[in-house]
Chains A and B, each alone.
Chain A
Amino acid sequence: MITVEGLTRKYGAFTAVDDVSFVCEPGRVTGFLGPNGAGKTTTMRVMVGLTPPTSGRVTIGGHLYHDIPNPGLHVGVLLDASAQHAGRTGREILTLGAQTMGLPLSRVDEMLDLVSLEQNEAKRRLRNYSLGMKQRLGIAHALLGDPSVLILDEPANGLDPAGIRWMRGLLKGYADRGGTVLLSSHLLHEVEQIADEMILIGRGKIVASGTKDELLADAEHKTSLVTALDNDQLSKVLADRGVTFTSAGSGLRVDAPPVDIGRLSVDYGIVLTDLRSADGGLEDLFLTLTEDTQREALPQGATQSPALTEGTQA
């Protein structure tokens, strides 16, 4: 269990982490989500004692990280997969970790197998690794000591879709066996797939937390994406009822909640092949909550293709 209590970290006038408190429960994967520079990495660095907090504290299973003897056996840490001597081979990096923790060298091969790094890949130097391979090696390093707590900063970064699926299985299994997992990401999609619980951080402050369902409980849906077997028929019905819509891909974007369109389809016998809400999802929530912390204001024109813009002007 990881407990963060009133954590603040300032760099001069800049507050990187501002009075952050949360708990990561054992048996669950907790996702730590926020835009670039929101304070995720700083929080994780304080957890493992690399950065001293300005105030507040973090305990792991009731201990300050600094007080855990041979911490590699209890807490697996991956802060930056590239933060290793580029001239060492993957195998050597794991060997150094295993030796420090006092583990048998057979553990190195077990971990290489676990993260699917081939023997010949393990003999290559880190500078020749792709980002995805570095991430696999970093995860292997974090798991070396068979810890009960995992702290991973952007572990899915650079993994291919198969790699992300693999990591999801690995971390789920790990949590199911009673482990505590905290992983950060700036990509909602990754966290949504892997995490049981989410903590959203923006500009150093926690803006929301809970399970996906809890986070979405209050969301309102006002727009839907719908595709019918006969889109023309659907368009006609919508137009008759004064509901505005635009065409979107193979279907329509309708300014009405999905439930209304579902009723229409039943009433008029229109067969729908796809119906979902176009807003109020986790992504909207995330962007709304971290709006003032985003670097970009998501200008409308920027997302349109030049041809389309020209068309509307003409």
Chain B
Amino acid sequence: MSATTAPRNLDVTGSAHVPMSRLAKVELRKALDTRAGRWLIVGILGLILVVEVIYSFAAPDDSKNLDDYLQIPGATFGFFLPIIVIMLVTSEASQRNGLVTFTLEPKRSRVVVAKFLAGIGLAIAVMVLGFLLAMVGTAFGIVTGSSPTWSVSGDMLFSALFLANMIGVFTGFALAMLIMNTAGAIVGYFAYSLILPTAVGILSLLSSTFEDIAPWVEFNTAQTPLISGDYAPTGEQWAQILTAGIVWLVIPLALGIWRLLRIEFK
């Protein structure tokens, strides 16, 4: 506001939209600049280290290879990464900073994309860190008496570490946008990732028909081939991931985005 005259119209020709890269950078910063976000990440990485040390002492020497150690960050991230994403989204409503976020960028779809990019970036960053921690673990395995192989299959890296965790991240997005409340979304996430598969497991034991249907409709069951065995799902298993994914990921995500674009942030 340098002009001393009083213009009745705003000249906005000189200003460009906030670039997506900048929005994503701010969202990434928002995921890490609160105590909850920062300590959750530190906690996850610490937990991985602790489990690796225990594993090094407990496991037989012939299963202390790099791909064995990679299971540890893989499983831990699968569990906690969605929670970071949930907090990143729900804090806009729970902590009410959506009022500021959506006045600085009123095109909400751009904020959604920025949050996705930040979530993906964060996930990849912790995956790389997890990979490095797995190498540290393997090296520690040598100290406890193993002679590990350092080879890792591409299938494992892609399916178990990358794809499974990305699905987790987007599941977090979907739940967060649908429920729009931090505590509620985290409870919802644990119901989805712990209670649902257990219930499906019990039902599968009782009924062989259900056991056949389960991987087509229950996403955790469908993802099992991604994170176990030879990490290479068969064509039928990919189809199961796709159908269960539509039910548990694509539809909730679409509804969640629809809700976030319309909700009144108070």
Contact = CB atoms under 8 A, between A and B. Distances in A.
B64 to A, nearest CB: 40
A84 B95 CA distance: 6
Interface stretch (B18-26, B43-51, B239-247): B18-26
A134 to B, nearest CB: 12
Interface in B67-95: 91, 95
Contacts of B3: 148, 177-178
B9 A96 contact: no
A88 B33 contact: yes
Contact of B15 (A50, A65, A66, A69): A69
Interface in B4-55: 4-12, 15-19, 22-23, 25-26, 29-30, 33-36
Given A84-B100, A147-B1, A50 B265 contact: yes
Interface string A165-190: 00000000010011110000000000
A151 to B, nearest CB: 9
A50 B97 CA distance: 12
A66 B107 contact: yes
Contacts of A179: 1
Interface string A118-150: 000000000000000000000001000011110
A99 B23 CA distance: 8
Central interface residue in A69, A74, A101, by most chain B CB within 10 Å: A69
Contacts of B184: none
A45 B98 CA distance: 13
The majority secondary structure among interface residues of chain A is loop
A148 B10 CA distance: 8
Contacts of B18: 69-70, 100-102
Contacts of A147: 1
A180 B7 CA distance: 10
B1 A178 contact: yes
Contact of A50 (B4, B17, B33, B102): B102
A61 B6 CA distance: 11
B96 A96 contact: no
B104 interface: yes
Interface stretch (A75-83, A109-117, A227-235, A264-272): A75-83
Given A69-B16, A99-B26, A148-B7, A79 B103 contact: yes
Contact of A92 (B6, B33, B102): B33
Contacts of B95: 84-87
Interface string A20-53: 0000011100000000000000000100111100
Given A49-B106, A50-B103, A71-B104, A82 B26 contact: no
Contacts of A50: 99, 102-103, 264-265
A79 B264 CA distance: 14
A72 interface: yes
A173 B253 CA distance: 48
Contacts of A259: none
B216 to A, nearest CB: 40
A133 B142 CA distance: 56
Size class of the A contact interface (CB-based, 8 Å): 35 or more
A139 to B, nearest CB: 13
B62 interface: no
Contacts of A48: 103, 106
A45 B99 CA distance: 9
A82 B99 CA distance: 10
Nearest to B98: A83
A97 B100 contact: yes
Central interface residue in B11, B23, B96, B98, by most chain A CB within 10 Å: B96
Contacts of B17: 69-70
B230 interface: no
Nearest to B19: A102
B34 to A, nearest CB: 4
A60 B51 CA distance: 57
Which 6 residue pairs of A and B lie closest in terms of their CB atoms, listed nearest first? A61-B10, A26-B6, A83-B96, A27-B6, A83-B99, A87-B34
Interface of B: 1, 3-12, 15-19, 22-23, 25-26, 29-30, 33-36, 91, 95-100, 102-107, 264-265
Interface of A: 1, 25-27, 45, 48-51, 60-63, 65-66, 68-74, 77, 79-80, 82-88, 92, 96-97, 99-102, 141, 146-149, 174, 177-180
